[in-house]
A and B are shown apart, each in its own frame.
Chain A
């Protein structure tokens, strides 16, 4: 497993107040790294920072990226899909409509189980399907690093389970590195290869998820969060 991106002593925050402090962040390829922690602890800020959306919030730290890595992001909001574009156009936004790109987009939609919706307008889709369109749009960029900000947070349990399953299959197929922010510890355990628990500024911890410790992690994480 190679290292895709590495941060040393990273501090980010607003108005010089650190939200995340002194974090050594390594992203491997491939892996799913789930970031958990209480609301307002800085999970989304960290993710948006990695995406390059909040560069000015960096207080200190150095980065080592392996070459120039391609990043793509899936947001939490279901309205991240443009309502005036049909599903296929949403997936292909900003890309030339070559035969190759078109067939790739259709293949990704097929993989996500929404190929039959390629000509539909987003308002006809369910929340779960919209999130899958967002994932398809991200995958079209052939990203090295896929950033996901509670993408299934607003879905009902059934849809969430289904999307998690699909994500896991995609992960294997595309050999992705995923940073997945969630407030749901069970989701992090089910999906993640590693879990980063953010506690207070300067306090965070990594957990490797293995088949052996999968059952035991939930109580451990819960008790850690309370400390």
Chain B
């Protein structure tokens, strides 16, 4: 059976189970709405509420954070490859900073940068930069020796070596780092927005969720969760597949 058909069947079964529990009536309707209420809330929030605006805020913020994080990771990876004290410093920085969850940094970031989108972007950069850096470094280290030799024999310029050989050669590693970075960033992002939702600042899906809880709008809250799940699936299943299909798979590289 088709993979997607299986997924859809499981989701439909889950929704039927949910609806059965609702009909059973053991939980109050206010905290356990029916499937129909949830989808109606989803429709209303998108058409009349501000769910689409909040979704766009979240996507825009995370795009900025991931973009800056990825660029920083590429630059740091090349610096790391240089032998000597700077390389050692980066290696130490990676081992110290990588295990640190982004959300744990939030109180400190608020002290340093105040409240607002900037803090969330910094948190996303932190979530993305370390796993990507580790992967790009591994990609550069694993570049076939023959590529170096070709660059030497043909006296290729540094620009050609970096942009036309080293970076595309480590792209499979880079994409795998981006996937890990994205997963970390997405979680940190929602958590951060939710914290800011508490103090009535910023926007985004996390803030939206928090506001729905405050107003006891459980169908709206679940609609928000559905959007978060759908976005996660979209990026992981479609966006990354698209990136891979248009690059490494198209080139027959694989991993």
- Which of A78-86, A109-117, A218-226 lies at the binding interface? A78-86
Which of A48, A93, A94, A122 is most buried by chain B, counting CB atoms within 10 A of its CB? A94
Distance (whole angstroms) from the CB of B18 to the closest CB of chain A: 47
In the complex, the answer to whether A83 meets B251 with C-beta atoms within 8 Å is yes
Known: A51-B153, A122-B252. A82 touches B146 (CB 8 A): no
Asked if B168 lies at the interface with its beta carbon under 8 angstroms from chain A, I say yes
Asked if A206 lies at the interface with its beta carbon under 8 angstroms from chain B, I say no
Asked if A14 lies at the interface with its beta carbon under 8 angstroms from chain B, I say no
**Interface mask (A39-77 → B, CB under 8 Å = 1, otherwise 0):** 000000000100111000000000000000001110101
Which of B160, B247, B251, B253 is most buried by chain A, counting CB atoms within 10 A of its CB? B251
Q: Choose one: A48, A73, A82, A123; the contact of B168 (CB below 8 Å).
A: A82
In the complex, the answer to whether A72 meets B153 with C-beta atoms within 8 Å is yes
Asked if A207 lies at the interface with its beta carbon under 8 angstroms from chain B, I say no
Asked if B149 lies at the interface with its beta carbon under 8 angstroms from chain A, I say yes
In the complex, the answer to whether A53 meets B165 with C-beta atoms within 8 Å is no
Asked if A171 lies at the interface with its beta carbon under 8 angstroms from chain B, I say no
In the complex, the answer to whether B253 meets A71 with C-beta atoms within 8 Å is no
Measured as residues with beta carbon below 8 angstroms from the partner, the interface class of chain B is 20 to 34
Known: A52-B152, A93-B154. A84 touches B251 (CB 8 A): yes
A122 to B152 alpha-carbon distance, docked (Å): 22
Distance (whole angstroms) from the CB of A28 to the closest CB of chain B: 21
CB contacts (< 8 Å) of A71 on chain B: these are: 153
In the complex, the answer to whether B153 meets A123 with C-beta atoms within 8 Å is no
Asked if A141 lies at the interface with its beta carbon under 8 angstroms from chain B, I say yes
Measured as residues with beta carbon below 8 angstroms from the partner, the interface class of chain A is 20 to 34
Known: A79-B144, A93-B164. A73 touches B153 (CB 8 A): yes
**CB neighbors of B among A74-110 (8 A):** 75, 77, 79-80, 82-85, 93-94
Distance (whole angstroms) from the CB of A105 to the closest CB of chain B: 14
A121 to B150 alpha-carbon distance, docked (Å): 19
Known: A53-B149, A85-B164. A72 touches B252 (CB 8 A): no
Distance (whole angstroms) from the CB of B142 to the closest CB of chain A: 13
Asked if B157 lies at the interface with its beta carbon under 8 angstroms from chain A, I say yes
A52 to B154 alpha-carbon distance, docked (Å): 11
**CB neighbors of A among B150-181 (8 A):** 150, 152-157, 160, 164-165, 168-169, 171
Asked if B3 lies at the interface with its beta carbon under 8 angstroms from chain A, I say no
In the complex, the answer to whether B154 meets A83 with C-beta atoms within 8 Å is no
CB contacts (< 8 Å) of B152 on chain A: these are: 52-53
Q: Choose one: B156, B160, B252; the contact of A123 (CB below 8 Å).
A: B252
A84 to B155 alpha-carbon distance, docked (Å): 20
CB contacts (< 8 Å) of B247 on chain A: these are: 84
In the complex, the answer to whether A121 meets B153 with C-beta atoms within 8 Å is no
Asked if B250 lies at the interface with its beta carbon under 8 angstroms from chain A, I say yes
Closest chain B residue to A123, Cβ basis = B252
In the complex, the answer to whether A72 meets B253 with C-beta atoms within 8 Å is no
A76 to B197 alpha-carbon distance, docked (Å): 62
Closest chain A residue to B156, Cβ basis = A94
A77 to B150 alpha-carbon distance, docked (Å): 12
A122 to B146 alpha-carbon distance, docked (Å): 16
Distance (whole angstroms) from the CB of A96 to the closest CB of chain B: 11
In the complex, the answer to whether B154 meets A72 with C-beta atoms within 8 Å is yes
In the complex, the answer to whether A93 meets B160 with C-beta atoms within 8 Å is yes
Q: Choose one: A75, A83, A121, A123; the contact of B146 (CB below 8 Å).
A: A75
Which of B146, B149, B154, B171 is most buried by chain A, counting CB atoms within 10 A of its CB? B154
A137 to B165 alpha-carbon distance, docked (Å): 15
> Which residues of B are in contact with A by a Cβ distance under 8 Å?
144, 146-147, 149-150, 152-157, 160, 164-165, 168-169, 171, 247, 250-253
Known: A79-B144, A83-B252, A84-B168. 7 other contacts (CB 8 A): A51-B153, A71-B153, A75-B146, A82-B147, A84-B251, A93-B154, A123-B252
16 examples of A-B residue contacts, CB within 8 angstroms: A51-B153, A52-B152, A53-B149, A77-B146, A80-B146, A82-B147, A82-B169, A84-B247, A84-B251, A94-B157, A94-B160, A121-B251, A122-B252, A123-B251, A123-B253, A137-B154
- Ordered nearest first, which 3 A-B pairs have the shortest CB separation? A123-B252, A84-B168, A94-B156
